[in-house]
C-alpha cells in the first residue's frame, strides 16, 4: 500500500518504549520531526520488556555480513556517544565450542575476516580457561575472542536515551493512558487516525509506528504468519565481593554448542547473569479487556507485569545449570537470586521488520528483534527512519520488508546457527500460573 512521505510537523505516535521505539524516536527527532509521542505501559526501562535488566551482549559476531557491519557501527557509537558510553563495558566476547570445527563459529570468523576485524583464536582448553580466572572449564575444545565487543547495561542505556528524548521535546505517555487497546482505522479508506488506549479518550495521529515487540500479535492478528512471541529463561546469582573481584575482568562467554552464556559480574552489586540463546517457550495467551482476536497466540500479558515472577521452568533451570557447570563450575549449584522469562519477538529468518503494514495506510511496523536487537540501540533508529521515510538503502529495505501474508504458515525460528538447546515448547497451564503469564 502506498504511504505518503511524512511531513516534519505531522503527528506521529510510537507505541513501545523499547529499543525499536526509542531508537526510532531519536532518529526522527534528529531529522526535525516536531510532534512525536511515545506510548507505553511504563516509563523506560519498561519493567518486563526485552530491553531491560542488567545486561545485553554487544558484539559484531554474525554469519550475515549485513548485521556484522551494522553491529560494528553500533559498537563505535557505544564507545563514543555521551548518551551510551557510560553504559557500555568493553569486556570482549569469548565464543567456545565443544566441537573442533563448529560451523557457526567458522562462518563467524569468515565474516570477521571479510571485514578486517581482528579476533584471537584458541586451540586448546588451557587458553580458553585463562579467560575465566580460577575456573576449570569443561567439555569445550576451541574458540576465539573478539576484543571489540562486550556488554551494555540495558536498563541504564534505555533510561538514558528516554531522558535525552524528553529533554529534546519528545512526549511520553505511560500508565493506563499510555497502554494501547486498539488501533483506529477507517473501515472504508483503511487509513489509520490514531489509537484507543485503556484509559481516557483516543489519541490521534496520522502515522502510527508499532514498536510493540512481543506484544505485537496482541494487536495485529494478521501478522501471526511472520511474528511470534517466545519466553527465554534467565537466571541471576549473587556473588560475594571476593568472587566478583576474581571474575571482574572476564569476557562475556558463551558455549555455542549449548547456547548458554554468562556475563561478567555487574559492577557495584556483583550480580552474575546466566542465559541461553535458544528456542524458548510459547504460552497460550488469553485476551484482555477490549481485545477481540480469534486464533490462539503467544504473547506477554498487557495489563500486568510479566517479569513479576521469579519462576523458571524445571527443564530451563537444569539446562542453565548444566551450561554454567561447563563455564563457571564453582557456581553451578549456587541458588538463583531470581529468575526471569525474557520475551523475544521472533521472525522466521531472525531479520527485523521496518515496513508499512500491507493493508493499513499510515501504520508502520518496527519490531522483530529476534533476541539480537538490543546491541543496535545507538544506530537502529537511523535505518528504521530511512524505511519510514521511504528512502532506505535497497539492502536494508529488502532485509526488513514485511512479507506478504500470502506466504502462509506460522512463524517458526529458522536461524543462522546461533540458536542452540532444546526445541521450543509451549508452557503447561500450571507453569503459566507459576510464571504469571
CB under 8 Å to 281, separation ≥6 — which residues?
Answer: 230, 231, 232, 233, 313, 316, 341, 424, 425, 426, 427
The pLDDT of residue 408: 55
DSSP secondary-structure letter at 49? S
The pLDDT of residue 101: 86
Q: How far is CA 144 from CA 94, 109, 112, in A?
A: 6, 9, 11
Low-confidence residues of the chain: pLDDT under 50: none
Under CATH, what is the fold of the domain 12-435? FAD/NAD(P)-binding domain (3.50.50)
Going through 45-204 in order, the beta strands assigned E by DSSP cover 56-58, 88-89, 93-97, 120-122, 142-146, 150-152, 171-173, 180-185, 192-197, 203-204
DSSP secondary-structure letter at 306? T
Q: How far, in Å, CA of 51 to CA of 55, rounded?
A: 9
The pLDDT of residue 85: 98
> Which residue bears the cell 566476547?
93
> Which residue bears the cell 542465559?
275
Q: Terminal CA-to-CA distance of the chain, rounded, Å? A: 36
The model's pTM is: 0.96
Q: Dump pLDDT digits (tens) for 132-165.
A: 999 999 999 999 999 999 999 999 999 999 999 9
Amino acid at each position: 500500500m502506498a504511504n505518503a512521505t511524512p511531513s516534519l510537523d505531522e503527528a506521529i505516535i510510537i507505541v513501545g518504549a523499547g529499543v525499536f521505539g526509542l531508537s526510532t524516536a531519536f532518529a526522527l527527532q534528529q531529522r526535525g520531526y516536531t510532534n512525536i509521542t511515545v506510548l507505553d505501559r511504563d516509563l523506560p526501562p519498561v519493567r518486563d520488556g526485552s530491553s531491560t535488566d542488567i545486561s545485553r551482549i554487544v558484539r559484531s559476531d554474525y554469519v550475515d555480513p549485513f548485521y556484522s557491519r551494522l553491529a560494528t557501527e553500533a559498537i563505535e557509537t557505544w564507545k563514543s556517544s555521551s548518551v551510551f558510553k557510560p553504559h557500555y563495558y568493553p569486556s570482549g566476547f569469548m565464543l567456545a565450542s565443544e566441537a573442533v570445527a563448529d560451523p557457526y563459529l567458522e562462518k563467524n570468523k569468515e565474516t570477521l575476516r571479510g571485514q578486517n576485524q581482528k579476533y584471537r583464536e584458541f586451540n586448546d582448553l588451557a587458553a580458553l580457561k585463562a579467560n575465566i580466572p580460577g575456573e576449570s572449564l569443561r567439555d569445550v575444545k576451541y574458540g576465539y575472542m573478539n576484543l571489540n565487543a562486550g556488554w551494555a547495561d540495558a536498563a541504564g542505556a534505555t533510561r538514558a536515551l528516554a531522558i535525552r528524548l524528553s529533554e529534546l521535546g519528545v512526549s511520553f505517555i505511560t500508565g493506563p493512558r499510555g497502554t494501547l487497546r486498539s488501533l483506529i482505522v477507517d473501515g472504508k479508506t483503511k487509513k489509520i487516525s490514531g489509537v484507543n488506549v485503556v484509559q481516557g479518550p483516543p489519541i490521534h495521529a496520522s502515522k502510527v509506528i508499532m514498536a510493540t515487540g512481543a506484544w505485537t500479535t496482541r494487536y495485529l492478528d494478521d501478522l501471526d504468519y511472520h511474528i511470534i512471541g517466545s519466553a527465554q529463561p534467565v537466571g541471576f546469582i549473587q556473588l560475594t565481593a571476593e568472587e566478583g573481584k576474581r571474575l571482574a575482568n572476564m569476557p562475556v562467554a558463551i558455549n555455542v554448542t549449548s547456547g548458554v552464556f554468562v556475563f561478567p559480574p555487574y559492577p557495584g552489586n556483583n550480580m552474575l547473569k546466566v542465559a541461553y540463546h535458544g528456542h524458548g517457550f510459547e504460552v497460550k495467551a488469553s485476551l484482555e479487556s477490549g481485545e477481540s482476536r480469534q486464533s490462539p497466540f503467544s504473547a506477554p500479558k498487557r495489563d500486568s507485569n510479566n517479569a513479576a515472577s521469579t519462576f523458571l521452568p524445571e527443564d530451563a533451570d537444569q539446562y542453565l545449570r548444566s551450561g554454567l557447570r561447563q563455564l563457571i563450575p564453582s557456581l553451578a549449584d549456587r541458588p538463583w537470586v531470581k529468575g526471569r522469562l525474557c520475551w523475544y519477538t521472533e521472525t522466521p529468518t531472525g531479520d527485523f521488520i521496518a515496513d508499512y503494514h500491507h493493508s493499513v495506510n499510515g501504520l508502520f511496523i518496527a519490531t522483530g528483534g529476534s533476541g539480537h536487537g538490543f546491541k543496535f540501540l545507538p544506530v537502529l533508529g537511523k535505518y528504521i527512519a530511512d524505511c519510514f521515510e521511504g528512502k532506505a538503502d535497497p539492502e536494508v529495505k529488502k532485509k526488513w520488508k514485511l512479507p506478504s501474508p500470502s506466504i502462509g504458515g506460522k512463524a517458526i525460528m529458522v536461524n543462522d546457527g546461533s540458536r542452540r538447546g532444546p526445541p521450543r515448547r509451549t508452557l503447561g497451564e500450571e507453569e503459566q500460573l507459576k510464571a504469571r503469564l
